[in-house]
């Protein structure tokens, strides 16, 4: 964690911008246009060319796009610093290198209408580039590496372990209980056998009259 990320951002941006300006001035004053100096013959040369496009000679002749991209880049970097307030060295250095590279090439276009390029890798037939292009490419790589793997903004376990079909909101036990209840409703209920009622023994009229007479006789005897 950096205690003063703003100072580190300013130091890296100023250093890379000055390095870009100095290297271009050395090439302009020490070499002729289209001159090449082999530092490793057939592999790496110093070649002085003027680029009228963007980085790595792309989009030549569209100057207004470069200034629009520069303004957009400044807005994005400011938004990132205000919203995130980075304290890790990777986003600080990455944004500083990108900003310095963009400023270096933009200053060249404003002053001369073109960008001075000098690094010529011939072993892979790559486009000729400069210090500012290196800052933009390396800065973007550092920033993206931090964003994807270290910032915690992207949870790769959640992305790769996400099920193909969403899980239901209810539990399996609730589903089983509901199915069991529905099956019970569909099954016909077997009729319950009613218990036979106990029938009272039938008493004839003669027996009832005789029992009453006995009761009266016993009452008279008691008196």
Query: What is the C-alpha separation between 63 and 106, in angstroms, rounded?
Result: 10
Structure tokens at 47: 């070649």
Active site residue 221: no
Q: What is the CA radius of gyration of the chain?
A: 47
Q: Which position has the higher pLDDT, 218 or 56?
A: 218
Please indicate, yes or no, whether the overall pTM of this predicted structure exceeds 0.85: no
Q: How many CB atoms lie within 10 A of CB 216?
A: 9
Residue 222 has pLDDT above 80, yes or no: no
Which one of the listed residues 20, 117, 120, 174 is annotated catalytic?
117
Query: Considering the domain boundaries, does residue 68 fall inside one?
Result: yes
Q: Is residue 120 part of a domain?
A: no
Rounded percentage of the chain residues whose pLDDT exceeds 90:
37
Question: How many structural domains are present in the chain?
Answer: 1
Q: How confident is the model at residue 171 (pLDDT cuts 50, 70, 90)?
A: very low
Please check whether residue 104 lies inside any domain of the structure.
Answer: yes
* 184 occurs within a structural domain: no
User: How far is the C-alpha of 174 from the C-alpha of 8, rounded, in Å?
Assistant: 58
pLDDT at 15 over 90: yes
Decide if pLDDT at 27 tops 70: yes
Look up the domain containing 12 and give its range.
Answer: 5-34+55-115+131-150
| Structure token pair of residue 139 | 């800065």
Which one, of 21, 1, 223, lies nearest residue 135 by Cα? 21
Strand partners, 44: 40, 121
The model's pLDDT over 96-131, given as tens digits with 9 standing for 90+, comes to 999 999 899 888 888 888 899 999 988 887 889 999
Which of the residues 20, 133, 221, 222 is marked catalytic?
133
3-state SS of the chain is CCCCHHHHHHHHHHHHHHHHHHHHHHHHHHCCCCCEEEEECCCEEEEEEEECCCHHHCCCCCHHHHHHHHHHHHHHHHHHHHHHCCCCHHHHHHHHHHHHHHHHHHHHHHHHCCEEEEEEECCCCCCCECHHHHHHHHHHHHHHHHHHHHCCCCCHHHHHCCCCCCCCCCCHHHHHHHHHHHHHHHCCCCCCCCCCCCCCCCCCHHHHHHHHHHHHHHHHHHC
Share of the chain above pLDDT 70, in %: 64
Residue 69 lies in a domain: yes
Mean pLDDT, to the nearest integer, of 151-171?
55
The answer to the question of residue 90 being in a domain is yes
State the Cα–Cα distance between residues 168 and 92, nearest whole angstrom: 44
Q: Is 132 a residue whose pLDDT tops 90?
A: yes
Residue 175 resides in a domain = no
Which of 103, 105, 99, 16 lies closest to 53, judged by CA?
Answer: 105
Instruction: For residue 71, name the pLDDT band (cuts at 50, 70, 90).
Output: confident
**177 domain-assigned:** no
Residue 117 annotated in active site: yes
């Amino acid at each position: 964690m950096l205690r003063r990320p703003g100072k580190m951002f300013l130091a890296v941006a100023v250093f890379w911008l000055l390095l870009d300006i100095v290297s271009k001035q050395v090439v302009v004053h020490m070499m002729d246009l289209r001159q090449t100096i082999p530092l490793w013959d057939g592999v790496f040369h110093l070649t002085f060319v003027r680029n009228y496009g963007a980085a790595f000679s792309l989009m030549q002749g569209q100057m207004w796009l470069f200034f629009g991209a520069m303004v957009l880049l400044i807005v994005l970097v400011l938004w990132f610093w205000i919203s995130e307030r980075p304290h890790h060295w990777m986003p600080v250095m990455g944004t500083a290198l990108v900003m310095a590279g963009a400023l270096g090439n933009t200053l060249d276009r404003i002053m001369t209408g073109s960008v001075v390029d000098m690094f010529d890798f011939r072993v892979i037939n790559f486009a000729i580039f400069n210090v500012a292009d290196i800052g933009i490419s390396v800065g973007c790589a550092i920033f993206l590496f931090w964003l994807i793997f270290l910032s915690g903004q992207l949870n790769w376990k959640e992305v790769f372990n996400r099920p193909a079909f969403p899980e239901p909101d209810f539990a399996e036990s609730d589903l089983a209980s509901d199915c069991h209840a529905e099956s019970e409703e569909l099954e016909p209920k077997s009729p319950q056998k009613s218990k036979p009622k106990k029938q009272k023994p039938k008493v004839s009229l003669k027996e009832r009259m005789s029992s009453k007479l006995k009761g009266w006789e016993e009452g008279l005897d008691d008196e």
